[in-house]
Amino acid sequence: MHRTLFSAFAALAIATGASAQTHDQHGDASGDKPWSQADAYFDPAEMDAARAHAQGHSGDTPFAMVRFDRLEAQSSDGETVGVWDADAWYGGDINKVWLKTEGEYSFEENDLEEAEVQLLWSRAISRYFDLQTGVRYDFEPDGLAHAVLGVQGLAPYWFEVDGAAFLSEEGDLTASFEAEYELLLTNRLILQPRLAAGFSAQDIPERELGSGLTNLQAGLRLRYEFVREFAPYIGVEHSASFGRTADLIEAAGGEADETRFVIGIRTWY
Query: Which residues share a beta bridge with 149?
Result: 133, 165
CATH 2.40.160.40 in the chain: give the residue spans: 63-268
Q: Which of 155, 107, 147 is closest to 129 using CA atoms?
A: 155
Q: Which of 159, 121, 113, 157 is closest to 138 using CA atoms?
A: 113
**Nearby residues of 85 by Cβ (< 8 Å), 6 or more positions away:** 68, 69, 70, 71, 101, 102
**Cα Rg for the chain, rounded, in angstroms?**
28
Which one-letter DSSP state was computed for residue 112? E
End-to-end CA distance of the chain: 65
State the Cα–Cα distance between residues 58 and 51, nearest whole angstrom. Answer: 11
Sign of CA dihedral 110, 197, 101, 251: positive
Torsion of CA 199, 260, 237, 253, to 10 degrees: 10
What string of pLDDT tens digits covers the 269 residues of the chain? Answer: 334 333 433 443 333 344 444 444 444 444 455 667 888 888 888 888 888 777 666 656 789 999 999 999 999 988 999 999 999 999 988 999 999 999 999 998 899 999 999 999 999 999 999 999 999 999 998 899 999 999 999 999 999 999 999 999 999 999 999 999 999 999 999 999 999 999 999 999 999 999 999 999 999 999 999 999 999 999 999 999 999 999 999 999 889 999 999 999 999 99
Burial class (CB in 10 A: 0-12, 13-18, 19+), 85: buried
Query: Which residues in the chain belong to E strands, given as ranges?
Result: 63-76, 79-91, 95-106, 111-124, 129-140, 144-155, 159-168, 173-180, 183-184, 189-200, 212-224, 230-241, 257-268
Burial class (CB in 10 A: 0-12, 13-18, 19+), 131: middle
Burial class (CB in 10 A: 0-12, 13-18, 19+), 262: buried
State the Cα–Cα distance between residues 261 and 225, nearest whole angstrom. Answer: 20
CATH of 63-268, one of 3.20.10.10, 1.10.357.10, 2.40.160.40, 3.90.1150.10: 2.40.160.40
